[in-house]
Structure 1
């Protein structure tokens, strides 16, 4: 029903008499009412940003329940600076869909991006902030999931130039317990790391490429 915020299901049963055996009553439904379920908000996941031939490509997955929702791409030259909207992207379809925006005129050095998410009720949320550096060699660990892991750990990496890299996993005592060499392509990519043989505990994962190092943390269950 319009104007009701909480989902409701109400049913009233009325006894209309016994059956004569065990004095068991017959029942009938006197009335019932059902209200509409709350609509889930617009959400995003898998947000990545990577340099592409002097431009910056942003990708994300959106999950929408209404076509009137939309995304705004915001950019700043500082992580805690003032963010300006550089694009407004409407929801393309109800359900899960992939979205992409190419920033054709990025800032000369540091670019910080976030997605402003506006659902059909005008509720606003934000993604995490991603940095893209166009000068020198760009390397960023955009995401790591799951942070509580048993088997495979996924690293979403943004890379400016193709080249060799190395992953190191370090335990709480500072020991390297896992090492893996790999070749990174230009752009965003997901690297899968098998950590199933590690003992339970907290770990730091380092990604090294040349003189650059990015890191994050995870917990092995």
Structure 2
């Protein structure tokens, strides 16, 4: 008497993803194994197929995520001469619904180290300014800033201690002084004292070649020239603010321009120029 082995059941895959950001298809599969075949003239039988696997998602995936779960096929019963070869085992159990969306793991009540309120990255002159706010912190240890040009190769560029325990918002900031050209991505990694890791979503930053601006004369007795160091592709937005950061005047220009400051009293002012997503700031003196 001889018989083929039964196929193993498909495994269970848990997909705990809260934010998908894909630049290629993602296929997730869980299949039952096929039953073993036999080839003998004695009493024999093919092995049964394995049951279908299960795919459990905490939230609905994107359309770019391919999902497949099937049962295993029955083993085949063949004689030595090969004149007949029929499936004699049972196919694996197909199951009612191998894909479940909205699963929650019970019994895992450990709180995450932080409740992240915001995480932002903005290009400014030759740097990228990054800041984040935690609404609460519990047992948090440190933060890391990660950067990537393609969402595949990731590098650590900064680490800073966390506050630890706080029921109130905490503010953090960092400046990437050697940012990548073009499009780059940043995310926040938080680690608590028990090594529980938490990630923010990726944020993208578009940087253009820094053009720079010349401002003269500075100090100025009333007329201030704003001269781009290279031809600008879009209209630049110019803001004049006092020492308290209050906006006093705004201008727009496509090329070099002259700002009339005669109506403003002598003092120190801040001139902000916004162009192609970058922000340039410089103090000017009105005499």
The verdict on a shared fold, with TM-score over 0.5 as the criterion, is no
The structure whose Rg is larger is 2
Q: Greater share of strand residues, 1 or 2?
A: 1
With normalisation by structure 2, the TM-score equals 0.33
